[in-house]
Amino acid sequence: MNGRSPRVLVIAALIGVLTLLVASPALAKAPEVSSWEESWANQPLYDCGDFTLLESVHNTYDGTKFFDKAGNPVRWQVRFSYDGTLTNSVTGATVTDAPDHQLYVRDYGDGTLTIHGLVLSANIPGVGVIGLDAGTTVFDADWNIVFQSGPHHVWLPGYGIDYTAICDFLR
């Protein structure tokens, strides 16, 4: 005999099997990973009254969708980077809004969408910040804001998108 009792070998084997079962990703469908980019130029974004705020952007996305054991989606996370400009449609004056990095998390169970990070950062040298939206915003399935932290000049409590400060600067 090699000095090990059958009981010790059985316990070691059981611990090994239990460790594999607890840590096994095979219990759920493997996450789907995707990346994509999109760009557009001079698309109408906001009515500033006497001009339209136009948006030109280049966005990059890295998404991961997670599934339960049955293969149903449970969460989708997207790392998002926005690089863009906002332009007065009449004068051509612009504000750079870049780079903004965000994490979007869609929970398929309760329908919420959570946005973490920098949504808007318009900082003009010599002027200062004219638009800042950062932190966390949670929307319910009906697009109502249910939680918000951080400074939010764009995603306002009660849910409204307001670019007034940027319109005023570009006049």
121 is a domain residue = yes
Q: How far is it, in rounded angstroms, from Cα 134 to Cα 150?
A: 6
84 is a domain residue = yes
Predicted local confidence at residue 160, as pLDDT:
58
Condensed to tens digits (0 to 9), the pLDDT of residues 40-90 reads: 999 999 999 999 999 999 999 999 999 999 999 999 999 989 889 999 999
How many other C-beta atoms are found inside a 10 Å radius of the C-beta of residue 103?
Answer: 14
Question: Does residue 23 carry a pLDDT above 60?
Answer: no
Predicted local confidence at residue 43, as pLDDT:
96
Question: Does residue 22 carry a pLDDT above 90?
Answer: no
154 is a domain residue = yes
61 is a domain residue = yes
101 is a domain residue = yes
Predicted local confidence at residue 132, as pLDDT:
79
pLDDT, average across residues 18-31: 59
92 is a domain residue = yes
Predicted local confidence at residue 9, as pLDDT:
43
Between the alpha carbon of residue 33 and those of residues 12, 16, 29, 58, 101, the distances in Å are 36, 30, 12, 20, 18
CA torsion, ordered 161, 164, 169, 171, to nearest 10 deg = 120
Is pTM, for the whole model, over 0.85? no
150 is a domain residue = yes
Q: Which domain holds residue 91?
A: 28-170
8 is a domain residue = no
| Contact yes or no for 37/60 (Cβ under 8 A) | yes
> Six-digit token pair at 42?
């001079």
Condensed to tens digits (0 to 9), the pLDDT of residues 112-155 reads: 999 999 887 887 778 877 777 888 989 999 988 889 898 877 65
Instruction: Report the domain count for the chain.
Output: 1
Question: Does residue 39 carry a pLDDT above 70?
Answer: yes
